[in-house]
Structure 1
Amino acid sequence: MIGEGYNYTILKEGYAYGTFYLPKFAGINPATGDAVFYTRNGELTEEFNTAELSQVIDKSYIPPYFGGISTDVSYKGITLSVHGAWAYKKYLFNDIRNIFTIPSIYQDANKSVEVLTAWNQPGDITEIPSPVRGKPSNQASSDRTLEDASYFKIKNVTLAYTLPAKLVQRAKISNVRIFVQADNLYTFTKYKGNDPEFTYPGGTDIFPYPNVTTYTFGLDLSF
């Protein structure tokens, strides 16, 4: 098992590289506010003993299906180019969400708004445990925040206009191209963390610097 630091994967014969190995989260006990997990026998327990718990072992941060798409359309000197990338059945462990949706740890840090739905009294139905400190199971990592990070990203859009040759040749210029370009324009995904395209070490999303959207305006001159 590769489970040290921020790595929650396992290297095992018959399974894809990058396969996660995490306890299966069963929810929050509405009577106590404590996290509940599945055991290897299919029973429920609040005791966090990894040797006894059932583990997720069918999801990897390396997608089995991925690709790209490109198209270029031109008309009377105007060219529109669009390039995209996609991945299907990719998973990431959203450790940022894991940390900031557990009320009993990092109490001096800003929390996710999800903690507003944390267990507060008997009968509450939620996936966020009680804010009471001292219960190891409530602070444990599990597949609660192992998320589908499949995505389709519009990586690049470029709109360009090439001036007519007869117009620019008078100025002894062979070609003039004006363009506007957008990179990392938009990502369609259900993933709640940062950029799902990014390759996080061990598939763990933990405080990375995300890809940013950039806009470029330019002028190409050829003499």
Structure 2
Amino acid sequence: MANNLGLDLGLFNRINLNVDVYDKRAKSLLMYRPLPLTSGYSSVLENIGSIRNRGVEFTLNTRNLAGDFKWETNFNLALNRNKVTKLNGSDKFATPSSTQPVGLNEDMDKWYMRIWAGVDPNNGDPLWEKIVTDADGKQYLTYTNSYNAATLQYTGSSSAPKFTGGMLNTFSYKGISLSAFVNFVYGNYVMNGMRQFFDSDGLYDSYNQMVLADGWSRWSKPGDIATHPKPLLGGNKAANEPSSRFLEDGSYLRLRNVTLAYDFPNELLRRAKINTARVFLSGDNLMTATHFSGTDPEVTLSDGNSSTKYPLSKKFMLGVSIGF
């Protein structure tokens, strides 16, 4: 079942607004269900439940200046949420062994793992949250330095951004044009898998140890309030195992492209018997603003994992385009 509502609005022959709101509900969600290893298979594809997909897409095109000097802006924004509304039987998770299990009544991309609680100031041990239930059924939050004893739980963060978008501005004057395109992602959390190796508190002697970012500190003596545990040969109590310690804000603003171009005038082109001729200089991936400590915050949003990939490189191009 799908419900869609759209709005197309044009004003003064200079402003065009498009808004799409949708609410889609799908049954028979197809996913892998884990099987006991004694079966000889790890999982099987099954229709395990239902999902609700809601979102808004917004596009705005404006002609800010007309005449010899022109300025046009194209802006888009998108918000999307996926929530599992039903699972077969009494299952709470469709993929219970995953760090992003498909959980009943939860958004599909939420992180589910042990929650990092920092460093014990007394001895430099890593700490995680542990939920304890007493005899009366009441739950209490405690802390443990045992990774296996820590409680698996939702972290309150997701690999799905709160919104994504982009903006293109184009300026032109008598054949000269300048365009700049930026795109952005906001509100998603990325698992920085590289830190499990390079920020491993002494576990791997074959990797260079990561230089701590501004605001981070390493425990060295009792009483230190630090972000990183005491480094030990062989690691410190599984501190580098997957947990919310390595979840980082993956929001970014990237200057994706800037292009400066000149289109030769029609009179000159007619004399040369050429339809179009343009000379241009462009640059890609010129700047990225982010708090992410890894090489590149741009990841597959549904997966949310950043590993040892090579970051996007800057590119510059000088060219001539001719059409006959």
String of CA shifts for 1:27-78, please: whole Å, max 9, x gaps: 111211110112122112212225x426343222121311221221111111
Query: In the alignment, which of 117, 120, 123 is matched to residue 220 of structure 2?
Result: 120
1:122 partner amino acid: P
The alignment-based identity, stated in percent, is 33
CA shift for structure 1 position 143? 0.9
> TM-score scaled by structure 1?
0.87
Does residue 166 (structure 1) correspond to residue 267 (structure 2)? The answer is: yes
Residue in 2 that maps onto 1:89: 187
Residue in 2 that maps onto 1:211: 312
Gaps of 5+ in 1: none
CA shift for structure 1 position 3? 7.4
Query: In the alignment, which of 239, 259, 270 is matched to residue 138 of structure 1?
Result: 239
Q: Please state which structure has a larger fraction of its residues in strand.
A: 2
Residue in 2 that maps onto 1:9: 100
2:123 partner amino acid: T
String of CA shifts for 1:86-105, please: whole Å, max 9, x gaps: 11111101111233122221
1:1-223 matches, within 5 Å, as 2=95, 8-40=99-131, 41-49=140-148, 52-53=150-151, 55-114=153-212, 117-132=217-232, 133=234, 135-199=236-300, 202-223=303-324
Residue in 1 that maps onto 2:33: none
Secondary structure at 1:39's aligned position in 2?
A: strand
Measure, in 1, the Cα distance between the counterparts of 2:173 and 2:96: 55
CA spacing shift, 1:182–1:189, aligned 2, 3 Å: same
CA spacing shift, 1:113–1:69, aligned 2, 3 Å: same
Secondary structure at 1:169's aligned position in 2?
A: helix
Measure, in 1, the Cα distance between the counterparts of 2:191 and 2:141: 23
CA shift for structure 1 position 135? 4.0
> TM-score scaled by structure 2?
0.62
Measure, in 2, the Cα distance between the counterparts of 1:136 and 1:103: 10
Measure, in 2, the Cα distance between the counterparts of 1:35 and 1:3: 25
**Aligned length, in residue pairs:** 220
Q: Please state which structure has a larger fraction of its residues in helix.
A: 1
Indicate if the aligned counterparts of 1:147 and 1:191 stay in contact, CA closer than 8 A: yes
Measure, in 2, the Cα distance between the counterparts of 1:126 and 1:113: 15
Indicate if the aligned counterparts of 1:8 and 1:202 stay in contact, CA closer than 8 A: no
Measure, in 1, the Cα distance between the counterparts of 2:108 and 2:266: 54
Gaps of 5+ in 2: 1-92, 132-139
Residue in 1 that maps onto 2:72: none
1:110 partner amino acid: N
Measure, in 1, the Cα distance between the counterparts of 2:154 and 2:248: 12
Measure, in 1, the Cα distance between the counterparts of 2:293 and 2:183: 19
1:78 partner amino acid: I
2:143 partner amino acid: L
Indicate if the aligned counterparts of 2:109 and 2:302 stay in contact, CA closer than 8 A: no
1:112 partner amino acid: M
Greater shift, 212-221 or 116-125, is seen at: 116-125
CA shift for structure 1 position 171? 2.8
Larger Rg belongs to: 2
Secondary structure at 1:16's aligned position in 2?
A: coil
CA spacing shift, 1:185–1:95, aligned 2, 3 Å: same
CA spacing shift, 1:102–1:134, aligned 2, 3 Å: closer
CA shift for structure 1 position 141? 2.3
